[in-house]
A and B are shown apart, each in its own frame.
Chain A
Amino acid sequence: MIRSILAIAANEIRLGRRNRWILLCASALTVFALVLGFIGAGPTGTVKVDPLTVTVANLATLSVYLVPLMALLLSFDTIAGEVERGTIQLVLASPVSRSALIAGKFLGHVSVLAFAILIGFGLTGGVIYFVAGGAPEGVAGLARLTSTSIALGAAFLAIGYIASAVTRQSGTAAALAVGIWLLAVVLYDLALFGALVADAEGLFAKTIFPWLLIINPADAFRLFNMSLLETGSGISDIAEALPFPAWAGLFSLAFWTVAAISLSALLLKRLEP
């Protein structure tokens, strides 16, 4: 069982390396992160804020958009594509269980994503640290950001498996994945902030809004990282007004990961290859 899971994970890592997926994602992250890093670290003005901390805040925003997208792109094809190409038949005919197949793929994909994130944020953090300097809190923030970005990626990988397991067509799964990204990362926030503007002091803002925020893994991630950074940005004020501690955001990520993995395993059990 463990041997099978590791074999499946190793396969995914090997494929991620050979189809240049890791390279591509690491490069994209590094380029965006460096650009944001230098824009943010430059003019901190009269307010004395640690450049690395500012960079981490900017990278958190970058992560919210880019990491879920990368995770979904990595996962949407993994079942539907294998059904379409026929490679899944031999795997499902072997003694390995379908849950172990999902577990192995998840382990492999998380590793692939972790490589890309570690390279991208590590490089950027290192460059900013040596060019502009950084306080210990900044370094801690970067470590926190990197590890929670991987957790954010894990949650969206798992959600991507659902998209991949509900359809037999890779193309449909791709459309679903892009839809999920748009909904969770772009439209959800637009709708929330729209509602917040309409009802700034009422029941919605005080009671419903925080829960809606933490229920979305992308927002939960942002909430957690921002609330622990001393940058004076708006979202840390929100965090102070929350009815729950900021680390509850981590629970949201964990919940989504476990729930989505379980659901996709269930869907995979029903698949007739």
Chain B
Amino acid sequence: MMDPLLHANAISKSFRSIKALADINLVVEPGEKLALLGHNGAGKTTLFRLILGFTKPSAGEIRIGGELPGSVNARRDVAYLPENVTFPKLLTGREILSFYMKLKNCPLSQVESLLQKVGLTDAADRYAGTYSKGMRQRLGLAQSLAGSPRLMLLDEPTSGLDPLSRQQFFALVDEVAAAGCAVLLSSHGLSELEARTDRVVILNRGSVVADAPLDELQAASKAPLRIRIKARSDSVDRVSSELGGRRLNGQSVELLCPVREKMAQLAAISALGSLVTDFDVTQPTLDDVYRHFSEDARREAES
């Protein structure tokens, strides 16, 4: 059997008395898009630093394509975009990108196309010191795309990006994943990840509390659907009392409904006939799911 691209086997990491990661198991296959969710301090960056070989696990073992993290082959396979990526202020974007391409031993002919991909062509000859956070992020992304990596580690890649750049960013992620590169990205900006990743791993205080595709997590979390009902202004009180929801304003009522009661609830709504003018169903968001698993883990820790 082939080794998985990334295999973290029961790794723990302590810094003196602080346990940053405890017994993490993680397998990532080629082409997979995986989101690593967690609060600040949950251990996301520590996990990345272990995968990069910047620091060694206190226990357990990580392999990247069978190689140890930090070995030349592993570094050739792994591309990294740190959370707050910084560059020398007095070098231009083009110089910086060319520099990393040389370190990664890629042909410089790709520089232009990479700059274009991340939308930095116009700013390529300005000093990086004049770049905004979003521009630095995009230059960092261009750098990580260079040299056809097999695993991309993106630490909070969308923070600092405006919604349009974020969309372009995910389009690029889809593109590299389609070409067979695994993408592991961390985030606490959950809502922007929806439907963008194949799998979600939730880290809480150094432990994996969930690892599954998003829809499975949504089901497992029993997070309710959110149903918003619009009614005529003279009947909104009645709608609210019949269905038991919460009045939002003069026209709308919001219900929280467990997924398995969805059809029964819809029947109740349609039974109200013309009192209801419109309605809207929202799936549990990643934030809801995430909150659920984090709270579960906290309750477990407390009991």
Contacts and interface: CB of A to CB of B under 8 A. Distances in A.
Contacts of A97: 72
A160 B157 CA distance: 35
A11 B52 CA distance: 24
B126 interface: no
Interface in A64-97: 85-87, 89-97
A95 B75 contact: yes
A89 B102 contact: no
B233 to A, nearest CB: 56
A18 interface: yes
Contact of A4 (B85, B90, B91, B102): B102
A97 B72 CA distance: 8
Contact of B91 (A11, A91, A95, A272): A11
Contacts, number: 66
A92 B54 contact: yes
B55 interface: yes
Contacts of B98: 7
A273 interface: yes
Interface residues of B, number: 28
Q: How large is the interface on A (under 10, 10 to 19, 20 to 34, 35 or more residues)?
A: 20 to 34
Nearest to A10: B99
A90 B143 contact: yes
A15 interface: yes
Contact of B88 (A7, A15, A92, A94): A15
Contacts of B72: 95, 97
A125 B155 CA distance: 55
Interface string B91-113: 10001001110111100000000
Q: Which of B49, B76, B82, B88 has the most CB of A within 10 A?
A: B88
B14 interface: no
7 contacts: A3-B105, A4-B102, A4-B103, A11-B99, A18-B91, A90-B140, A273-B54
Given A7-B103, A87-B87, A90-B100, 18 more contacts: A4-B102, A7-B98, A8-B103, A11-B91, A11-B99, A15-B90, A86-B85, A86-B86, A89-B54, A89-B82, A90-B82, A90-B143, A91-B103, A94-B100, A94-B104, A95-B103, A96-B103, A273-B54
